[in-house]
Structure 1
Amino acid sequence: MKKLIILTLLLFSIPVWAQEAITTLPFEIVNGHIYIKVVVDNGRPLNLAFDTGARANLLHEQVAEELGFNIDGVQQVNDASGIVKIKSSYNHSMKVGSLDFRGETFLLMNLDHLGDEDHPMDGVIGGSILDEFITEINFDDSEIRFYERSGFKAPEGFTEEKMTLEPFRVPIINCKLMLNNGTAKEGFYLVDTGAALAIRFNVPLVKKQKLTESLLPNYAYTSRALNSESTDYIGRLPAFEIMGHKFQSFQVRMATDAGGVSGRSSVDGIVGLEILKRFNLIFDYRQEIIYMQPNSLYNTFFLENFSGLKVKKQNGRLHVEAVADNSPALDQGMKTGDEILSVDGQKNLSRMAFLEYVQPMRKDVKLEVLREGKIIFVSLKPRKII
């Protein structure tokens, strides 16, 4: 049986709270994921993504080998695109701030595709902690705070929203999508801080509402979840309402893979971090309540790809994994496999720094590119693709 030991209490005064946090963890957002430091089996601090969509603890198989994990079994996991079999290891310790967890099970897999060399993803946690504590994700302060359930009262400045945890034991809330033809459809959506996107619509909704035909133009985007690969279409949604707040004209993904969660009709899709980060959030799993408060990120621009390049950092270079149709990159003949050596003379840019730099306000971005052993120069003119 899993045992939880509270080692110490961090006492500090926050006037608006009915009680104080048991422990507080700083976090940073990198490549669309929330990262915290966690110690497993008394090893080094690991970079773990905090994911409300993760029921199980995940660990990179290379980190598991470093820590001397045994392989104790195989489990089936339902990811966004299908059921995958993953190796598992039992009876480990995990220290999260001042909280010690015992008897933890970890699923082991290669997570290279979810991180990059600038910020590797060592693992993922979520449900094992959210089940135990009331959990606040405060984006204003870049902190995650854990509270005891006993005596907890709604904080000032937050509004209360009902959620359900069934059938996935992941938060599900009611939202509304709005289309140009006047269609407004309410539906249930998973609240997934581990999804580096705004909205991803499930296949049944995409087909029923003919979204790939109505959200035009759009382009194909291939990505990986856990151990599976799928292709979505990216289009621009007129409006979406979540927890009483409406967001307009931003990019969304439309799933085509009917396997896994994306094939379920019981939920219409996933709300990811690109929307969720605009609210300070508090999760109470026992009462099935989310408390929310708009924060300083509320009116920030939605991240958007203005080059058409999908890149990944490897060996200090940005490797081109895909080139979108109808994009500046395709116009200039960029190809899959190209390696970007510099961007306007800047070397060693991270993937996110590249995405944020290549904006329409820059009329011309010069890329130094290595292709088949030869260096060429490409001039991109960033613009909206859709």
Structure 2
Amino acid sequence: MPKDQKFQKINFDLINNLIIIPIEINGEELTFVLDSGVSKPILFNLSDRDSLQINNVSEVTIRGLGDGEPMKALSSKGNVFKLGKVKNYNQDLYVVLDKEINFSTSLGIPVHGILGYDLFRDFKVEINYAARNIKLHNPDLYKHDPHSKSQTLRLSIERRKAYVEGTVLMENDEDIPVKLLVDTGSSDALWLFREPEKGLEIPEKNYEDYLGRGLSGDIFGKRTKVSGIKIGDFELKDAKAAFPYRESFGFIKNLGDRNGSVGGEILKRFNIIFDYARGQVTFKKNGNFRAPFQYNMAGIELQHNGLRYIAESIAGFNGVVKSEEGSFGNVQILLENKTRLSLVPEIIVSGIRAGSPAAEAGLQAGDVILAVNGKRIHRYKLQEVLKMLNEKEGKRVRVLIERYNKDLLFSFVLKKVF
């Protein structure tokens, strides 16, 4: 950072509880997830790039969360990273060449990688989830100004990862102290490891669910909720929780005294200042604090699946082409018979939870979503479509899909998961 500058402010998008930041690597503008759970930057999904220069390359094998196998990757040194006026002229990174590693399809925007520890190590990082911006504070000029409604807690840094202590309130009203990985790269709320001897047992009300995707494959586990989670003096009641299957953590030989992780659906309820150098983290609750936890009441997982053409009639056609920006860009052709052909992202059902309203109605993985409650979904972002499908308990949802070149209409009523 320039020596006379106190901080660099960076705006971000919050998509599915994940912080999406713009970053420049060796002169190329890319988009990354800010992931405090990753030690070194990892680059993937370069399908929208003709070329990208990376320096001093050697081949390595890496593994992340998921039930898959280790993968080949490139280790690269001496790269230039730039965020606003903040620069690193000698940044190490990994490059994953597997085309299956692509978070863009589930987030609805192009995402090229993840970045974490190195940024948190070098700056005091202030994340304002409410205003959706980050301030990277110059550690030499930074002065902490505690707020009466904020609380500063101990943050332990181990093997380039940050941990905070908290308390989980189980169904039997037992308070269990836990050590949690602080993971801004997780869109979920709370993950816990099953430890019956400690009292961390899966509550009776639960269901098997897809929890997300790691670098090494899909992650499954039991979705449930706990009576509450306390971090410092802050308490969230009826907190959404999951117990991932231990197979997804097979590459971690020893979890030590870690009991789980706290992710974006809880972290977004606070504005947070990370001070890795001093081993401190400051929490201050924001306007999201009392927002209800979001459950997938419909039981549908969606993702982008390339592009498709749609045809629309145009009233008062005058021959003028209007450009529109979409998640992946739109291409439009106007024909003389007042019909517009548009190339838009195709959204498909990527998974269905057994026993869910969508499954009982007859929806299937692979169905192409055309409309939800009469709204043609090509006008909406992926996360907006997911929200339409999970708006309110008791609401009837009508979904028009395409299956084997036939349009089919399904209807179901959203119901509480627990």
Q: State if a TM-score over 0.5 links the two structures.
A: yes
Which residue in the other structure is 1:381 paired with? 413
What does the per-residue CA deviation read over 1:156-198, in whole Å, with 9 as the maximum and x for residues that have no partner? 31321001011x3211011111111222210100001110100
Structure 2 residue runs without a partner (length 5+): 308-344
Structure 1 residues 285 and 207 mapped into 2: Cα distance closer, same or farther (>3 Å)?
A: same
Alignment partner of 2:36 out of 42, 48, 52? 52
Do residues 351 (structure 1) and 382 (structure 2) align?
yes
Which residue in the other structure is 2:298 paired with? 307
Structure 1 residues 363 and 235 mapped into 2: Cα distance closer, same or farther (>3 Å)?
A: same
The residue matched to 1:274 in structure 2 has which SS?
Answer: helix
8 A Cα contact 2:271 2:286, kept in partner = yes
Q: Percent identity?
A: 20
What does the per-residue CA deviation read over 1:210-256, in whole Å, with 9 as the maximum and x for residues that have no partner? 633x2413233253201223321111222111222111223211111
8 A Cα contact 2:37 2:182, kept in partner = yes
The residue matched to 1:171 in structure 2 has which SS?
Answer: strand
Alignment partner of 1:333 out of 362, 373, 395? 362
Name the aligned partner's letter for residue 68 of structure 1.
Q
* Offset at residue 208 of structure 1 (A): 5.9
| RMSD, aligned α-carbons | 2.4
Alignment partner of 1:323 out of 352, 373, 382? 352
Which residue in the other structure is 2:273 paired with? 282
Which residue in the other structure is 2:395 paired with? 363
Which residue in the other structure is 1:26 paired with? 11
Do residues 37 (structure 1) and 22 (structure 2) align?
yes
Moved more, 323-332 or 270-279: 323-332
Which residue in the other structure is 2:92 paired with? 105
The residue matched to 2:384 in structure 1 has which SS?
Answer: helix
Do residues 233 (structure 1) and 218 (structure 2) align?
no
Q: How far apart in 2 are the matches of 1:9 and 1:309?
A: 51
Which residue in the other structure is 2:70 paired with? 84
Moved more, 356-365 or 226-235: 356-365
Moved more, 110-119 or 132-141: 110-119
8 A Cα contact 2:157 2:279, kept in partner = yes
Which residue in the other structure is 1:165 paired with? 157
Q: How far apart in 2 are the matches of 1:355 and 1:61?
A: 23
**Which protein shows a greater Rg?**
2
The residue matched to 2:70 in structure 1 has which SS?
Answer: strand
Name the aligned partner's letter for residue 333 of structure 1.
G
Name the aligned partner's letter for residue 166 of structure 2.
C
Name the aligned partner's letter for residue 172 of structure 1.
Y
Do residues 140 (structure 1) and 130 (structure 2) align?
yes
Structure 1 residues 277 and 285 mapped into 2: Cα distance closer, same or farther (>3 Å)?
A: same
8 A Cα contact 1:198 1:274, kept in partner = yes
What does the per-residue CA deviation read over 1:317-353, in whole Å, with 9 as the maximum and x for residues that have no partner? 3211211123110120111111111111222233311
What does the per-residue CA deviation read over 1:38-59, in whole Å, with 9 as the maximum and x for residues that have no partner? 111112x211111111111111
Q: How far apart in 1 are the matches of 2:237 and 2:204?
A: 13
Structure 1 residues 206 and 62 mapped into 2: Cα distance closer, same or farther (>3 Å)?
A: farther
Structure 1 residues 9 and 29 mapped into 2: Cα distance closer, same or farther (>3 Å)?
A: farther
Structure 1 residues 148 and 61 mapped into 2: Cα distance closer, same or farther (>3 Å)?
A: same
Q: How far apart in 2 are the matches of 1:62 and 1:71?
A: 19
Moved more, 189-198 or 28-37: 28-37
Q: How far apart in 2 are the matches of 1:165 and 1:111?
A: 31
Name the aligned partner's letter for residue 165 of structure 1.
I
Aligned pairs (5 A) from 1:142-221: 142-150=132-140, 152-157=142-147, 158-166=150-158, 168-202=159-193, 204-205=194-195, 209=199, 211-212=201-202, 214-221=203-210
Structure 1 residue runs without a partner (length 5+): 1-5, 11-20
Name the aligned partner's letter for residue 74 of structure 2.
K
Structure 1 residues 132 and 246 mapped into 2: Cα distance closer, same or farther (>3 Å)?
A: same
TM-score (norm 2): 0.81
8 A Cα contact 1:35 1:48, kept in partner = yes
The residue matched to 2:130 in structure 1 has which SS?
Answer: coil
* Offset at residue 205 of structure 1 (A): 2.8
Moved more, 80-89 or 112-121: 80-89
Name the aligned partner's letter for residue 76 of structure 2.
S
The residue matched to 1:234 in structure 2 has which SS?
Answer: strand
Q: How far apart in 2 are the matches of 1:78 and 1:188?
A: 23
* Offset at residue 277 of structure 1 (A): 0.8
8 A Cα contact 2:300 2:358, kept in partner = yes
* Offset at residue 65 of structure 1 (A): 6.3
TM-score (norm 1): 0.87
Q: How far apart in 1 are the matches of 2:282 and 2:80?
A: 30
Structure 1 residues 26 and 227 mapped into 2: Cα distance closer, same or farther (>3 Å)?
A: same
Do residues 62 (structure 1) and 46 (structure 2) align?
yes
Alignment partner of 2:239 out of 247, 250, 254? 250
8 A Cα contact 1:206 1:255, kept in partner = no
